[in-house]
Structure 1
Amino acid sequence: MRRLCLVMALAAPWGVMAQKAANPVTYANSITAEDLKKHLYIVAGAEMEGRETATEGQRKAAAYIENYFKQLGLAPGVNGGYQQPYPVFQDSLVKASIDINGKKFQPFTDFAANLSSSNSSAFMASEVVFVGYGISDSTRDDYKGIDARGKVVLVLAGTPPATQQPAPGTRRGFGVSPVIEAALKNGAIAVLQVQPGFPRRTGSTRGFQYVNGFRKTIYPNLYAVSDQVAEAIMGTDYAAAKDAMKAGNPTAKSYAANVTVDFNKVVTELQSTNVIGFLEGTDKKDEYVFLTAHYDHIGKTAAGVINYGADDDGSGTVSILELAEAFVKAKAAGKGPRRSIVFMTVSGEEKGLWGSAYYGDHPVYPLEKTTVDLNIDMIGRIDPKRKIGDSTNYVFVVGDDKLSSDLRPISEAMNKKYTKLELDYKFNEPNDPERIYYRSDHFNFARKGVPIIFYFNGTHDDYHRPGDTPDKINYELMAKRAKLVFFTAWDMANRNDMLKRDIPLDLPAR
């Protein structure tokens, strides 16, 4: 028994050394322009209808990815399945009406409500309180001397003149949120805010999707209303109030008015998914390399025209499929990775990084054992704004100098040895005005402390437009960029140690 153990102990390092010495080029070469093109014409085809989150097109794309993972022989990545579901909510308007002193006002002509931020509510009130800007904080209190508890409050849009701007650190002037917070603090049941732009174009009876269906605080509804609604409540005082607003000294006042408000919506719980395939490692199988991309896009225009999303991010999605195939072939040849590799395509990125945020908060594999996330979002085209270097042989690299001092040396070494792309760090600057670091799914790994690298080709005239089609992709360049990801992942999956986490997470406010 002891001799057998000794033989096994001596054999193990030799196996690891042989595995580390394996040439990855053979497997990288399975990532071809032809295969990428074949996948992309399907993923970014008309049948997928632009792959908008929580739609049939997105579900078709998820099924295609799952079926390909199965075909490759990847293990299910989530509790025996390939898809990690998360909830998505959407509101539909049933009824909206406002009646003041017997006069009926019409939706979109005279008033409007934000479906997703409003709650079904019906009431009859006999008093409305005008409170100027509707501000109530440490620097200004438009509610002073007014009892707004259980009342409807009327405010005018805008901020005080420059001489009365808020002190540094206060939130006034940033949208309507402070107005709603002030109304809640003072006990108001609803806010009527006079806004310009009425009558408005008739809107959809369906609201935007959202994921925060369960909220800690239920705020009073805010209704944007026209000048005519305000005049129906305040009469001739309204003109004087507008002048006082310009001067920064409106006077709060209560008005007797019979107000009937009826707002009714239904909330539908939809669902979207991340698609996850798993390739088990060898001696370090309890450590993980993540390869990610988002497979959703923005769907169709109001006129029904498809936004195909070939580059954004069909290019990243099909690259994940090809990367999976390359690693599966390596494992079949006995050269599989030491660490396990998780291939994850997420949805909801275009809505606000929803899918990756959900994974970050509900990880399937321990984040502390996740050595890296290599994220791909748009690698199929050329940025026409890039005027330096060789525009046919580059990739923007983001995040490789953050969280781990191991990232950039590995990335640059793999590129120098194998792909010889121009690595452009333009978008890596923390003060970059486009804030690319925060705009794709790697961010939800980085915020949890997982080292990341993000690969990106920059934007172009077809970004988020119907013209982002598969025929405009540079497939040879896309294959080369995907190979860089493969070689980088190969090194990180097979090195002795996990990547160091030796650079503090120091992110500015988003």
Structure 2
Amino acid sequence: MRSSVVALAAALALSACASDGAPPPASAGNGTTASAKATPSIDTMKRLVKQLSSDAFEGRAPGTMGEEKTLALLSGEFERLGLKPGNRGSWFQDVPLVEIVAKNVSPLTFSGGKAKVQAGYGPEMVIATYRTTQPHIAVKDSPVIFVGYGINAPEKGWNDYAGLDVKGKTVLILVNDPDYEAAGLEGPFNGRAMTYYGRWTYKFEEAARQGAAAAIIVHDTVPAAYGWNVVQSSWTGAQQVADSADGNAGQSAAIGWIQKDKAAALVASAGLDLDTLMAQAKKAGFKGVPLKDVKASVSFDNDLRKHMSKNVVALLPGRTRPDEYVLYSAHWDHLGRCQAAPDGDDICNGAVDNATGTAALVALAEANVKAGPTDRSQVFLAVTAEESGLLGSAYYGDHPVFPLGRTVGGVNMDALSMAGPARNVVVIGKGKSQLDAYLERALAAQGRVASVEPTPEKGFYYRSDHFSFAKHGVPMLYFEGGEDLVKGGTAAGMAAAADYTEHRYHGPKDEYDPNWDWSGVKADLQLYFDVGRALADTTDWPNWVEGDEFRAIRDKSRAGL
């Protein structure tokens, strides 16, 4: 089944690129020549990953001492290299956030059915709010409605809220898309490949638009792409929310997740079966189902603190066209203190996620300084609050330091693979833009290939900062270390990925390991350098392929330039 998905996606990607006239190889040739002048330093990577992920940085949570140390380290590194402060003489761009810490959380209680059902905070449910001016949240006796996947997509003729009035009520929502179990990429929501409608961020956004008082997502490990441990560590403790003039008053009062077995129990209390409802929700024409007589209640207090977090912006001015920009991005933040491991360790150090990407920004800047300026300017952007929903990159997209219409494109780096050298890289969103051609040339120089995602149902395209720029039309390349390892092939690569997800991802054991094999990172880092260098020296303006969802946005931003 997996091989057929890969073959189909690859065929679609090739067809899309062929139809849109990707730039010929010669257009970026000078970038390849320049890349030979410098090789990004693995010693720099090791030094910075070790430092950023040390306990002294306390997990790099926004608004903490860990942020202050991270900002000082990055700005100092960029200054040492001779880069320019990117934001009108400053290394930083303010990002207004509100830190919310829930306390005195009551159980999430469902009453009125055949039996009362309670879910405890942490092990069985998590709850939070986007509202930034309410020190107390209370949802009391709110009627519960199962709304399937919680999708309202007029262009697809799909509306799980059709005929429902959910104002002031609690909606129970499934994660991912209705067709995530498809064998291929055909279906109303791209088959196996997740669309944005499948992401938890969308589901809370739509529930708020519908007026729901509370929105609760049913956690299911396969469609969510991670276990409950990730939900618990990510959604407890301090949460970061984008600030707004109205305090996000239009958002649902309470948002959260519930364990699937608890969701099944509450559905059963209404005389229904969760598995049956889930099967029905996958079919077009599904209508939401009120859970007869069942009402939800939950309350919690909030410690609220407004603060200015920071994006770090460094500039290497271009030689001949300094008003055209190539962007390198990575998020510097992680979860800070989180759910403790059995040994009591409660610092989520974020060594792989994303001290590696942050260190890569510095290593790439260092290599580009050594190689000399390119024709276009190069921007090195370390963004905040990615772990809270891409908040730092979203803020930059809404308030760009450099005009997005004059930003050529770039690369995003998030959680570089420590599994060792691979014969391939996995491109997230392969076939969406003409940037693929730049990567393929760089890969050819290494004797490697680009592969489509083996698990498109996990929705990685919507889970890192490149998505914030794509929404504004800027093509960004994002790839992960390949799963076809030189030692052990795909079986070893998939096992390494699963081991990281299960034992370290968003947990206290994502720590620096002096025994890591850096050879795979070295090869991938060279790809980022080669691609960025080629983009910075070419005169081309790579676009999204014809028909892509972001093409019209890009064309509009470039009109008249």
Question: Which residue of the partner structure matches residue 72 of structure 2?
Answer: 63
The correspondence of residues 125-164 of structure 1 with structure 2, limited to 5 A, is: 139=163
Question: Which residue of the partner structure matches residue 436 of structure 1?
Answer: 460
Q: Is residue 180–residue 222 contact of structure 1 (8 Å, CA) maintained in 2?
A: no
Alpha-carbon spacing, 1:496–1:380, altered in 2? closer, same or farther (3 Å): same
Question: Which residue of the partner structure matches residue 293 of structure 1?
Answer: 330
The correspondence of residues 22-421 of structure 1 with structure 2, limited to 5 A, is: 23-29=33-39, 31-92=40-101, 114-117=127-130, 119-120=134-135, 139=163, 208-213=239-244, 214-215=247-248, 217=250, 265-303=302-340, 304-331=345-372, 336-382=373-419, 392-399=422-429, 401-404=431-434, 407-417=435-445, 420-421=446-447
Give the whole-Å Cα distance in 1 for the aligned partners of 2:290 and 2:44: 68
Give the whole-Å Cα distance in 2 for the aligned partners of 1:412 and 1:476: 20
Q: Is residue 137–residue 254 contact of structure 2 (8 Å, CA) maintained in 1?
A: no
1:395 Cα offset (Å): 2.6
Alpha-carbon spacing, 1:319–1:181, altered in 2? closer, same or farther (3 Å): closer
Deviations 1:151-204 (A, max 9, x none): xx8989899xxxxxxxx99x9xx989999888x69xxxx89x9x9xxxxx9xx9
Q: How many residues align?
A: 411
Unmatched 5+ residue regions in structure 1? Answer: 1-16, 99-106, 144-152, 160-167, 196-200, 225-240, 254-260, 384-390
Question: Which residue of the partner structure matches residue 426 of structure 1?
Answer: 452
Q: Is residue 386–residue 392 contact of structure 2 (8 Å, CA) maintained in 1?
A: yes
1:297 Cα offset (Å): 2.0
Give the whole-Å Cα distance in 2 for the aligned partners of 1:134 and 1:312: 34
1:287 Cα offset (Å): 0.6
Give the whole-Å Cα distance in 2 for the aligned partners of 1:142 and 1:305: 39
Deviations 1:78-101 (A, max 9, x none): 121111121221235687899xxx
Deviations 1:106-130 (A, max 9, x none): x979xx995525635699xxxx988
1:34 Cα offset (Å): 2.3
1:374 Cα offset (Å): 0.9
Question: Which residue of the partner structure matches residue 483 of structure 1?
Answer: 526
Give the whole-Å Cα distance in 2 for the aligned partners of 1:378 and 1:399: 17
Amino acid in structure 2 at the alignment position of 1:273: K
Give the whole-Å Cα distance in 1 for the aligned partners of 2:419 and 2:55: 23
Give the whole-Å Cα distance in 2 for the aligned partners of 1:142 and 1:395: 44
Question: Which residue of the partner structure matches residue 500 of structure 2?
Answer: 462
Give the whole-Å Cα distance in 2 for the aligned partners of 1:220 and 1:21: 51
1:295 Cα offset (Å): 1.7
SS at match of 2:353: helix
Amino acid in structure 2 at the alignment position of 1:416: A
SS at match of 1:210: strand
Segment of structure 1 superposing worse, 358-367 or 134-143: 134-143
Deviations 1:188-225 (A, max 9, x none): xx89x9x9xxxxx9xx996532215432526667999x
Q: Residue 506 in 1 paired to residue 506 in 2?
A: no
Give the whole-Å Cα distance in 2 for the aligned partners of 1:134 and 1:287: 49
Deviations 1:5-54 (A, max 9, x none): xxxxxxxxxxxx9x94994355323x232232122221222221222233
Question: Which residue of the partner structure matches residue 447 of structure 1?
Answer: 471
1:77 Cα offset (Å): 0.8
Question: Which residue of the partner structure matches residue 102 of structure 1?
Answer: none
Identity %: 26
Q: Is residue 32–residue 533 contact of structure 2 (8 Å, CA) maintained in 1?
A: no
Q: Scaled by the length of structure 2, what TM-score is found?
A: 0.60
SS at match of 1:461: helix
Amino acid in structure 1 at the alignment position of 2:537: N
1:433 Cα offset (Å): 1.1
Q: Is residue 133–residue 156 contact of structure 1 (8 Å, CA) maintained in 2?
A: yes
Amino acid in structure 1 at the alignment position of 2:369: V
Give the whole-Å Cα distance in 2 for the aligned partners of 1:83 and 1:133: 45
Q: Is residue 373–residue 445 contact of structure 1 (8 Å, CA) maintained in 2?
A: no
Q: Is residue 28–residue 483 contact of structure 1 (8 Å, CA) maintained in 2?
A: no
Unmatched 5+ residue regions in structure 2? Answer: 1-26, 108-118, 148-159, 175-187, 190-197, 219-231, 258-267, 274-288, 483-496, 551-561
Alpha-carbon spacing, 1:35–1:392, altered in 2? closer, same or farther (3 Å): same
Alpha-carbon spacing, 1:416–1:75, altered in 2? closer, same or farther (3 Å): same
Amino acid in structure 2 at the alignment position of 1:489: G
1:349 Cα offset (Å): 1.5
Q: Is residue 100–residue 302 contact of structure 2 (8 Å, CA) maintained in 1?
A: yes
Question: Which residue of the partner structure matches residue 555 of structure 2?
Answer: none
Amino acid in structure 2 at the alignment position of 1:217: G
Alpha-carbon spacing, 1:357–1:469, altered in 2? closer, same or farther (3 Å): same
1:250 Cα offset (Å): 8.6
Amino acid in structure 2 at the alignment position of 1:215: N
SS at match of 2:367: helix
Give the whole-Å Cα distance in 2 for the aligned partners of 1:158 and 1:289: 39
Give the whole-Å Cα distance in 2 for the aligned partners of 1:477 and 1:113: 37
1:505 Cα offset (Å): 3.1
Q: Scaled by the length of structure 1, what TM-score is found?
A: 0.65
1:363 Cα offset (Å): 0.6
Amino acid in structure 2 at the alignment position of 1:397: V
SS at match of 1:50: coil
1:134 Cα offset (Å): 10
Question: Which residue of the partner structure matches residue 492 of structure 1?
Answer: 535
Alpha-carbon spacing, 1:21–1:242, altered in 2? closer, same or farther (3 Å): closer
Q: Is residue 447–residue 505 contact of structure 1 (8 Å, CA) maintained in 2?
A: no
Calculate the aligned-residue CA RMSD, in Å. 5.0
Q: Is residue 430–residue 436 contact of structure 2 (8 Å, CA) maintained in 1?
A: yes
Q: Is residue 49–residue 512 contact of structure 2 (8 Å, CA) maintained in 1?
A: no
Question: Which residue of the partner structure matches residue 237 of structure 1?
Answer: none
Q: Is residue 294–residue 349 contact of structure 1 (8 Å, CA) maintained in 2?
A: yes
Alpha-carbon spacing, 1:381–1:138, altered in 2? closer, same or farther (3 Å): closer
